[in-house]
Structure 1
Amino acid sequence: MDFWRRVVDVRVLGVREWSLVAVVALLPSVVGRVVSGSDGRTIVPGAVLVLVAAVVAGILEEPGWRGYGLDAFNDRHGALVAAGIIGCVWALWHLPLFFLPGSYQAGLGLGSGGFWLFVFGLFALSFVYAAVYFVTGRSILAVVVLHAGSNAAGELVSAPGERTVESVVTLLMTLVAVIVLVRRVPG
């Protein structure tokens, strides 16, 4: 019963936790957009479909990755190693998308620099998502919303050509997340 409460109960999160989720989800894309000097008038075709896909991805992935897997590995190995294990598996999970014509990942090209940036980015985000998960009292809902928000921001807010800036911001967030995981999460 605790598992499902952590999936659906919005009352366990306060303004501080929801603000954390929003900032972490939006920060890389917003900083990338600001650095690019974009006028913000980019229209993304199918924005509603992008939002639906982002929410579905969060709902389908996070109960397993963070809600079950992270807890199980944390009990055995500690939060830092658990986040790394989940990050490796999470990156492999996305590999089939590189073979799906028309997907963002296929557009990067298997084995390209963009491919490696995407894979490393997922691995790094695993630490960020783990930190948010633990800081929010193991809220699965928080990481579902974070995952959906990150995906949507990446599609709807990101400025073309600013993936490098977004990667640097993600790396900085990862460093903070690692510190949080080492200092605040019992193994």
Structure 2
Amino acid sequence: MSPSQTTVPAHSENPATPARRRGDLILFLVIAFGMSWACWGTAIGLGGPATPGTPTYTPFLLGAFGPLAGALVIRIRRRRRREPVPEHAVRFRPAALLWAPLLMVAASGAVLGAAVIGHAAGDTALSWSDSRDVMQDMGGPAAFLVSMIISGPLSEEPGWRGTAYPRMRATMGRFRIALVLGVIWAVWHLPLFFVDGTVQHDLGLATPGGVLFAAGNIPMAMLVTCAYDRAGVLASIAVHFAVNTTMILLDVHTPATQALIMGCQIVLIAVLLLTGRRPATGTTPAAPAHPARTPAQV
């Protein structure tokens, strides 16, 4: 053996190579889009409103779990390859039990504040009558809240934030990821504009409301990313749930209020970035060993 060469010991866990990270990301997106679009395509084909008790509701609900299915596949692959948790993954910490409700209140407050400002400026008045109808259609307040947690926050965040974000973070900054992942997120939602009974269908695709919904995925992606960096997937689920639920309960649909919500979210994002600490990573970097050097590197 040449003196310039060293033997690299075999470890039980090997770091993921850039090629593997890219492969995992591609596989995740294929599963997320494939499962969701197949289910939502079935819902479109069946027709009718996607409300409980209708044939359309089951494929509509299952479609939301595409990102979660992709996340589970990637996690199983990582464990079989005995790779460590990605460096930028935020593991669960007890502090998440405190941060999650605080961030949830802040995210909900941003939506409520935007709606109040919009009303003061002459936009549609806030009304709880439609909220009661929505909850009644979903089977009552309890069923409504469970549905809002499962369909969206719980079915998406382990994928978009818990799986895609840490792997993208290895080569990209948070702002670039928010832009890229926000665009991907908006495209992923496209079939819902053609499923009767969804918020997207009510907004319409080629309308100011539909365009603002798509654009709003970018600040929303940054907001839930800030929550994830603070306290992991639990916090991103809480923020996603808070925004979705508050918007539906307030019946937010006018372009003016949608634009104000984006503005308030940007302000909240700035506050979180300015007050945040360096996020804890999922792995503890090992002490660097003397790397093997080739003659060209000596």
Q: What TM-score comes out, normalization by structure 1 length?
A: 0.79
* Partner residue in 2 for 1:28: 110
Query: Does the alignment pair 1:73 with 2:195?
Result: no
CA offset digits 1:27-72 (Å, max 9, x no partner):
2321134232656643411323542332011110000000010000
Change (3 A) 1:109 1:158: closer
Partner residue in 2 for 1:55? 149
1:14 Cα deviation after fit: 5.0
What are structure 2's unaligned runs of at least 5 residues? 1-78, 80-84, 136-140, 282-298
**8 A Cα contact 2:126 2:250, kept in partner:** no
Any gaps of 5 or more consecutive residues in structure 1?
none
Q: Is the 8 A contact 1:79 1:186 kept in 2?
A: no
Instruction: Kindly provide the amino acid, as one letter, of the partner of residue 91 in structure 1.
Output: A
Asked if the contact 1:28/1:165 (under 8 Å) is kept, the reply is no
CA–CA separation in structure 2 for the residues paired with 1:159 and 1:63: 26
Partners of 2:220 and 2:193 in 1: CA distance: 19
Question: Counterpart in 2 of 1:149?
Answer: 242
| Pairing 1:128–2:228 present | no
Change (3 A) 1:128 1:180: farther
Deviation at 1:175, TM superposition (A): 4.7
Structure-1 residue corresponding to 2:204: 109
Equivalent AA in structure 1 for residue 240 of structure 2: H
Q: Distance in 2 between matches of 1:39 and 1:140?
A: 31
Query: In 2, distance between residues paired with 1:129 and 1:92?
Result: 18
Q: Which moves more between the two structures, 101-110 or 29-38? A: 29-38
The one of the two structures with greater contact order (alpha-carbon pairs below 8 A, sep at least 6) is 1
Amino acid at match of 2:206: G
Higher helix share: 1
Percent identity among equivalent residues?
Answer: 23
Which of residues 102, 110, 114 is equivalent to 1:19? 102
> 1: CA distance between counterparts of 2:266 and 2:251?
16
How big is the shift at 1:135?
2.1
Give the structure 1 partner of residue 134 of structure 2.
46
Residues 98 and 109 in structure 1, CA contact (< 8 A), matched pair in contact too: yes
Return the alpha-carbon distance in structure 2 between the equivalents of residues 148 and 60 of structure 1: 11
Which range moved further: 118-127 or 77-86?
Answer: 77-86
**Equivalents in 2 of 1:110, 1:39: separation in Å?**
24
Q: Separation in 1 of the partners of 2:253 and 2:166?
A: 36
Report the Cα offset of residue 85 of structure 1.
2.0
Secondary structure at the residue paired with 1:46?
A: helix
Aligned residues: 180
- What is the alpha-carbon distance in structure 1 between the residues aligned to residue 126 and residue 204 of structure 2? 29
- How far apart, in 1, do the equivalents of 2:275 and 2:184 lie? 22
Distance 2:154 2:101 in 1: 17
Flag the 1:165–1:133 CA change in 2: closer, same or farther, 3 A.
Answer: same
Asked whether 1:172 is paired with 2:267, we answer: yes
Question: 1: CA distance between counterparts of 2:145 and 2:100?
Answer: 22
Structure whose CA Rg is larger: 2
> Partners of 1:168 and 1:42 in 2: how far apart?
26
2:192/2:200 contact within 8 Å kept: yes
Match of 2:292 in 1: none
Q: Which moved more, 1:166-175 or 1:98-107?
A: 166-175
